[in-house]
Chain A
Amino acid sequence: MNGINLELLNKINKLDKVEGELLLELINMLSQTKTYSEKREVQQNFRSAVNKIINQQE
């Protein structure tokens, strides 16, 4: 179950680079989680990733 579906990957790759990478990271994180606590962790990790992007833009 590792990896991302090829068709989905193609679609994500068509997005703007920043958005595409962020989304890919989010989906990869989600594909490796099962439990509620892990999912909550994904939410926090995603928030950090968004902050990082915005900070870099500054």
Chain B
Amino acid sequence: MKILSLELYNFRQYYGKQKITFADDTYQNTTIIFGENGKGKTGIYRALMFAMFSTRHIPQDNENDEVHLVNFLHIEKNSPAIAEAYVTVEFEHEGEYYILQRKVMATRINQGRINERLGSSELQFKDTNGNVKPKTYTDDEEIRKIVNTVLDEEIKDFFLFDAEKIDTLTKDDTDIRKQVKDAILNLLQMNNIEQAQEIIKREKALIEDKLRDDISDQKLNSLEFQKQNIQKDIRSKQELLEVYESEIGESDRTISEHNVTLNKNKEILEINKKIKENKDEILEHKNRLDYLNNEIAQTHFKIAPYLILQKTLASNAKDIENFLGEEKIKVPVEIVEESLNKGNCMVCSTDLNENSENIKYLEALLESHSHSETYEFARTLLYMFEHRKDEFTDEEERLSYTLREYNETLAKIDKLKEDNEQYEKQVSQHAKLDIDLASIEEMIQKAKQSKEDNKFKSKKATEDIDSLEKTEEQVINDLNEMYETQSRNINEKKKFELLKNLEKNLKNISKEFNDEMRELLGNETTNIFRTLIDKKDIDLIEKVEINGKFEIKAIDHKGVSILSDISQGQRQILSLAFITALARIAVKKTDSNMIDYPLFMDSPFNRLSGNNRDHLINHLPDLTAQWILLLTDTEYTSSEEFVFKASGRLGKSYIINQVELNHSIIEEVDLDESLATRGRG
């Protein structure tokens, strides 16, 4: 099936006539309809559902909500006359071209209220040359039957859907499980097998009545009575089994819901713990700051004069060094005086009188003695400068280190405070949650216990049913033997034989087909999931299983079911993989891997990561006959636009522009033009 075009006339936000022609090329099979929120994207989805299935509501609506289909501006301009709106959809399926139009009328009644009623429907066919065939179908029931042969209304939501809701397909929910089961039964024609079994059974029972009339053996009545009692017991056990299964499902839901609350609350507790830890750390840092502050003050006090006079002192030290010059006299003046008095050097014992130069030298030394006190002082001063300089340099380094630590500690405090602000914001968002964790955990334990009890009961009931069925089989065999040997009604006996064999063979076919289809569906879903998912998550799911109850199970490499642990985006991709696999198996008439149905998706990318979006854009067009996407500005940014254009699969693109309130128009955009930029602009 391919949707060729959709024409809206005064439908929802669309005033006047608007038409979309969808890409239907085998390769360029993708159509994008881009529109900001509130401009009318979902109106297009609604229009398609209305045209195809005459439905006013789409899955995201509340069934009790009043949904208006006729454009308000049109109603206003027509008032008090009747305002008419229609949607025409053209589609193709297996070489047949369909034109289906549905109308809806509206009038304004008291206090501005609007009264709407569905108008006529018309279905026509076109030949391959585009000429409309003369026969027009107007009977709603007849149209419904024809449309159902193309796309069954019971499974429409698997192909035409609001993608934000589609991840629910893989949720652990009784209603959803039923939907999934119905879709599998319907698409794989298992429901027909079930119904065929029922019909054969009923027919066989009628013949059995006739055969019984022909036999007067008391044993027959006894066996029949026994069979009926066994069947009654089986039914009653089956009913019980359903109750147990339903209660197990209920327990699962309770556990899952409470775990969500628990995890959320645990998250809050964790955050609060972090806030407390951060506060303690801040306090420690503040104490350290006080200590460092004190250290800095003391060191400053100690070395401040040095720091102030550092340059002056260095310059003075140089002057003193110059002043001291080459002065090397280290001999005390008393020694010089005594040497001169005795005429003999008191240091080296040289006779001074032998050389007058020696006496002159000592006399010069004595002469310079008048300066020696100044030298002494200078030497002391220089020594002090140098010694203190080393000491001050150490102190200065220490001060610099302390200041660095001080600044780092301040930065740490700021960071911790900033973190806490964020944490407190998170906590305030969850403030309304009930955080009575103990009672929640108690409820979880109760639900777990109840689940275990029901599992035990369910196992017991299943065993009982198996045992009863064996007894039933034996009784039926005995009955059959009696019919065959004792009845003289040859014709009915032949019919009975035929139906008995048919019933047995169909039972085997049903079991085999059911097992094979479930296995095939699981394998196909796994393969498609691996194609669509981002490479880094490719090993997330080892295999997908569809179990005997038609529940979807995602199994990891350890054999653990992880469906409840995967993200919404991943679940959405798993759901898409499941739908595609289901459709592919259901319509397996050729070797093509492509499904014979369009995938029409409203807001498909909202919950997907960038990489997963890119993977879908690149791979989904290979899996479906036609891909139609309703995208908002946050879903179709320049990144997605780039990938779409690079893929070469884009066939048509449209933008929804709002002229005024209740007046949106749909404009086709050339594939070379940048839709994302226009949209954002």
Contacts and interface: CB of A to CB of B under 8 A. Distances in A.
A50 B196 contact: no
A7 B513 contact: yes
Nearest to A43: B199
A19 B202 CA distance: 17
A50 B193 contact: no
Contacts of B517: 7
A26 B196 CA distance: 7
B90 to A, nearest CB: 19
Given A27-B193, A43-B199, A50 B513 contact: no
A1 B148 contact: yes
Contacts of A42: 199
Contact of A2 (B94, B188, B499, B505): B94
A5 B196 contact: no
A37 B527 CA distance: 42
Contact of B494 (A8, A32, A54): A54
A5 B495 contact: no
A31 B498 contact: no
B502 interface: yes
Contacts of B516: 7
Contacts of A23: 196, 502, 505-506
Contact of A54 (B202, B495, B512, B586): B495
B133 interface: no
Contacts of B150: 1
Given A2-B149, A27-B196, A18 B189 contact: no
Given A2-B149, A15-B505, A22-B502, A50 B189 contact: no
B475 interface: no
Nearest to A46: B199
B94 A1 contact: no
A30 B505 contact: no
Nearest to B195: A30
Contact of A26 (B145, B199, B501, B588): B199
Contacts of A22: 498, 502
B491 interface: yes
Contact of A53 (B203, B498, B501, B520): B498
Interface in B487-513: 491, 494-495, 498-499, 501-502, 505-506, 509, 512-513
Given A5-B189, A7-B513, A34 B145 contact: yes
Interface in B513-531: 513, 516-517, 520
Contacts of A19: 498, 501-502, 505
Contact of B498 (A8, A18, A58): A18
A50 B498 contact: yes
Contacts of B148: 1, 34
Contacts of A1: 148-152
Contacts of B145: 34
Contacts of B195: 30, 39
A9 to B, nearest CB: 10
Interface in A3-24: 3-8, 11-12, 15-16, 18-19, 22-23
A26 B100 CA distance: 31
Contacts of B506: 23
Contacts of A32: 149
Output the residue of B188, B196, B203 with the most chain A CB within 10 A.
B196
Interface in B176-207: 188-189, 192-193, 195-196, 199-200, 202-203
B491 A54 contact: yes
B467 to A, nearest CB: 29
A7 B588 contact: yes
A51 B499 CA distance: 11
A5 B149 contact: no
Contact of A3 (B193, B203, B494, B589): B589
Given A18-B498, A19-B501, A50-B498, A31 B589 contact: no
Given A30-B196, A42-B199, A4 B494 contact: no
A3 B202 CA distance: 25
A3 to B, nearest CB: 7
Contacts of A46: 199-200, 203
A11 B517 CA distance: 12
A46 B503 CA distance: 14
B199 A11 contact: no
Contacts of B200: 26, 46
Contact of A6 (B152, B202, B588): B588
A46 B499 CA distance: 11
A19 B512 CA distance: 18
Output the residue of A2, A7, A12 with the most chain B CB within 10 A.
A7
Contacts of A18: 498
Contacts of A34: 145, 148
B264 to A, nearest CB: 44
Contact of B588 (A5, A11, A57, A58): A5
B509 A31 contact: no
A1 B151 CA distance: 6
A12 B509 CA distance: 8
Given A43-B199, A46-B199, A50-B203, A5 B498 contact: no
A5 B586 contact: yes
A16 B512 CA distance: 17
A3 B94 CA distance: 11
Nearest to B505: A15
A14 B16 CA distance: 58
B203 A43 contact: yes
B498 A11 contact: no
A57 to B, nearest CB: 7
A32 B149 CA distance: 8
Contacts of B149: 1-2, 32
Interface string B199-237: 110110000000000000000000000000000000000
A19 B150 CA distance: 29
A1 B57 CA distance: 23
A27 B509 contact: no
B331 to A, nearest CB: 123
24 contacts: A2-B94, A2-B149, A5-B188, A7-B513, A7-B516, A7-B517, A8-B189, A8-B509, A11-B509, A11-B512, A12-B509, A19-B498, A19-B502, A23-B196, A23-B505, A23-B506, A26-B196, A26-B200, A27-B193, A30-B192, A30-B196, A39-B195, A47-B203, A50-B203
Shortest 10 CB-CB contacts between residues of A and residues of B:
A30-B192, A11-B509, A27-B192, A26-B196, A30-B195, A5-B189, A54-B494, A1-B152, A6-B588, A31-B192
Given A5-B188, A27-B192, 10 more contacts: A1-B152, A22-B502, A26-B200, A43-B203, A46-B200, A50-B203, A50-B495, A53-B498, A54-B494, A54-B498
